[in-house]
């Protein structure tokens, strides 16, 4: 009797181990349906990074990783989480103002707050200080004809004379931060910088790596600069209100260790945009609960797969919508040896098969010469595949590509609900997702036949043309539709 009972229990446990996740189309469909409905539900409030909605989302992903049998491979021992620090910004539109004489300038339209800026309100006369360069030992001194900077709001051109910039010993003195500090040390009370052609332009908005100078530092566009040059000595009233809050984002990382020499990273961002300005939830069902559900389902399949020629690392990234924060952080602080990564497989918006006809886009196909063979060997599905060679920087694959890792990246493309409260679970093509997941699983297994995937850097032109063609093709969506819903 005991023997029969043991046999019975053993057979039950074997059945359980093999068919814990039934792989029929209808079973896959019902699991991803549940995943997306949970992730894009009201209670997760749009899964904005660093919020309670993010926490609910990562708790759901952790329980799914655990259920699938993945090992935790976050930062702390025994944890699936990798915590990363982030400074979130809250621009107060109605409290940030610029007026010169009687002319009122529009925030964002005519000027922006730079990453160097503190908060406050200030009045004073405008003074053009050119490039604000003052080098004691050379003839370059923008201050030599300026009587007095004290109490002035100064206008500074970000550019520098190219001859000077090639002198290594001068580089630090030519940086905007040095020149802004010089102006403040001479008594200026606020700084308006300008010139988007300057190589320093981008750095003015690097909020992640820049500390405030505790002075008001704004960027003035053409309207402001033109007004100042035709109205020297104009009376400025400037107010800036920008709340910076230190917060923590969380990547979720699970591992299938097959004791293989290389690891395939399978990733998708799970964060979205939270509430709209009208306080509506932006659900992000396609962007990117769909990709998250796809990697959860692949985890369930690959855990029980007989193919052990690679290990698999699953990462649900946070902070993608804030600027690829989670994936960049992982690449800088990886929890496995990146030299042992075979390739990275990214899923971002795979829930709207049909929105661009019956096709999906495979991005970054030029990042390995091996992809041609893998794509042609992968079993065909009902959809067509459009290949885009380059690896443009609009999703989480980019940090891995920059580290010399081959990329495969699938998407069903942009649509009119992108970044709006209309990106809901009811509009997902679940049958389409089932075929994309099955295709991806077969793609992975064909890549295993190919062995270690070889990396190839995409030539600049290819990268540019892919990026440009993507945006020209999607121009309607990005500029006419997507941004209406975005903030």
Positions in the binding site for Zn ion (CB under 5 A): 287-288, 348
What's the closest the beta carbon of residue 416 comes to Zn ion, in angstroms?
16
What's the closest the beta carbon of residue 349 comes to Zn ion, in angstroms?
6
What's the closest the beta carbon of residue 268 comes to Zn ion, in angstroms?
8
Nearer to Zn ion, 241 or 422 (CB): 422
Nearer to Zn ion, 45 or 395 (CB): 395
Nearer to Zn ion, 54 or 348 (CB): 348
Nearer to Zn ion, 367 or 395 (CB): 395
What's the closest the beta carbon of residue 269 comes to Zn ion, in angstroms?
6
Contact 70, 198 (CB under 8 A): no
* Sign of CA pseudo-dihedral 284, 285, 286, 291: positive
Nearer to Zn ion, 220 or 413 (CB): 413
Nearer to Zn ion, 152 or 282 (CB): 282
What's the closest the beta carbon of residue 52 comes to Zn ion, in angstroms?
21
What's the closest the beta carbon of residue 320 comes to Zn ion, in angstroms?
6
What's the closest the beta carbon of residue 447 comes to Zn ion, in angstroms?
23
Nearer to Zn ion, 35 or 348 (CB): 348
């Amino acid at each position: 009797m005991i023997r029969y009972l043991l046999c019975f229990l053993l057979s039950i446990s074997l059945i359980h181990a093999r068919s814990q996740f039934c792989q029929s189309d209808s079973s896959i469909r019902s699991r991803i349906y549940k995943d997306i409905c949970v992730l894009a539900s009201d209670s997760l409030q749009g899964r904005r990074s660093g919020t309670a909605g993010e926490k609910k989302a990562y708790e759901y992903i952790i329980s799914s990783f655990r259920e699938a049998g993945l090992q935790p491979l976050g930062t702390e021992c025994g944890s699936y989480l990798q915590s990363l620090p982030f400074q979130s910004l809250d621009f107060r539109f109605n409290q940030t103002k610029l007026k010169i004489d009687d002319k009122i300038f529009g925030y964002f339209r005519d000027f922006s707050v730079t990453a160097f800026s503190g908060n406050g309100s200030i009045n004073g006369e405008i003074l053009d200080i050119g490039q604000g360069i003052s080098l004691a030992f050379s003839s370059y001194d923008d201050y030599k004809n300026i009587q007095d900077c004290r109490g002035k709001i100064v206008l500074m051109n970000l550019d520098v004379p190219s001859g000077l910039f090639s002198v290594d010993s001068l580089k630090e003195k030519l940086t905007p931060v040095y020149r802004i500090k010089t102006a403040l040390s001479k008594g200026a009370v606020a700084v308006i910088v300008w010139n988007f052609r300057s190589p320093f332009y981008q750095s003015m908005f690097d909020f992640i790596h820049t500390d405030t100078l505790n002075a008001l530092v704004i960027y003035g566009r053409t309207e402001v600069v033109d007004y100042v040059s035709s109205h020297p000595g104009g009376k400025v009233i400037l107010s800036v209100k920008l709340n910076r809050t230190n917060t923590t984002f969380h990547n979720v990382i699970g591992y299938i260790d097959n004791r293989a020499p290389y690891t395939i990273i399978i990733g998708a961002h799970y964060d979205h945009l939270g509430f709209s300005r009208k306080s509506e939830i932006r659900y992000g069902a396609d962007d990117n609960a769909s990709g998250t559900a796809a990697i959860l389902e692949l985890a369930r399949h690959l855990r029980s797969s007989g193919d052990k020629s690679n290990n698999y690392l699953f990462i649900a990234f946070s902070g993608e919508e804030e600027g690829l924060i989670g994936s960049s952080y992982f690449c800088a602080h990886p929890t496995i040896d990146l030299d042992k990564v075979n390739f990275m497989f990214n899923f971002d918006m795979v829930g709207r098969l049909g929105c661009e006809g019956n096709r999906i886009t495979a991005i970054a196909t030029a990042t390995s010469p091996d992809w041609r063979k893998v794509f042609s060997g992968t079993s065909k599905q009902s959809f067509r595949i459009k290949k885009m060679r380059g690896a443009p920087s609009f999703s989480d694959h980019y940090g891995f590509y920059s580290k010399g890792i081959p990329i495969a990246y699938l998407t069903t493309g942009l649509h009119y609900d992108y970044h709006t409260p209309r990106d809901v679970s009811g509009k997902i093509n679940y049958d389409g997702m089932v075929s994309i997941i099955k295709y991806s699983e077969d793609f992975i297994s064909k890549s295993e036949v190919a062995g270690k995937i070889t990396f190839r850097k995409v030539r600049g032109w290819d990268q540019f043309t892919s990026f440009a063609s993507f945006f020209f093709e999607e121009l309607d969506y990005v500029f006419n539709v997507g941004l209406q819903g975005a903030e």
